[in-house]
Amino acid sequence: MSRLSGRVALITGASRGIGAAVAKRFAAEGAHVILTARTVGGLEEVDDAIRTATGQSATLVPLDLRKTDQIDQLGYSIYERFQRLDILVGNAGVLETLGPVAQFEPKLWDRVMTVNVTANYRLIRTADRLLRASDAGRAIFVTSGAAQAPYPYWGPYAASKAALEMLVRSYAMEIASSNLRVNLIDPGIVATKMRVQAFPGEDQSTLTQPDAITDAFVALAEPACTRHGEIVKAQG
């Protein structure tokens, strides 16, 4: 039996990279996936891959997480169609650029904080009741090793991920007596577009590919998961 059979899963940033890989794997495990991203073409490519592999279709929701009011509308739409949400994967994130904190442009700072922190707060706010309506609600948020140790020129991104970790772990403590399980996942070094932004001369073929880390996401998403309030490393 598939590990996520019959589950309803929302995945942000699902048009490419880790989000797309998780979407395909969840669908292969029997979940109905709701996929959001700004890139419509990318979402359609993921949907085509899911249809080819499983014979099922995804629900596609073009969404710019910087327009945070749209996240509330997404929650209403999920309730109207499914009355619940079994799995939330807060994967979408941006790096924008690397640079000295003192010279970082305010508009770029705002984008990083909005997508990496505020959008996930709005997702929690919107999805909490939907997850509680599930018999085994599961929420997974993607963090980074950058949150754990300071590096020069990574300040805004690292600060956003550190803030995300504190936000999610606080939420996990608040709902500890419920049937929800909430965790963070650190994917490690993976061949993604963001990795290219940070290390443009790197040979991506030598890196772990996104589909190689999906086991960790499935383990945290399935009803049998008992982990809660943890930061889980997808590799090693």
Residues serving a catalytic function are: 157
Q: Which residues pair with 61 in a beta bridge?
A: 36
Strand, coil or helix: 141: strand
Q: How many residues does the chain have?
A: 236
**How many Cα atoms occupy the beta-carbon half-sphere of 144 within 13 Å?**
27
* Contact yes or no for 158/147 (Cβ under 8 A): yes
Rounded Cα–Cα distance for residues 26 and 209 (Å): 17
CA 188 to chain centre: 14
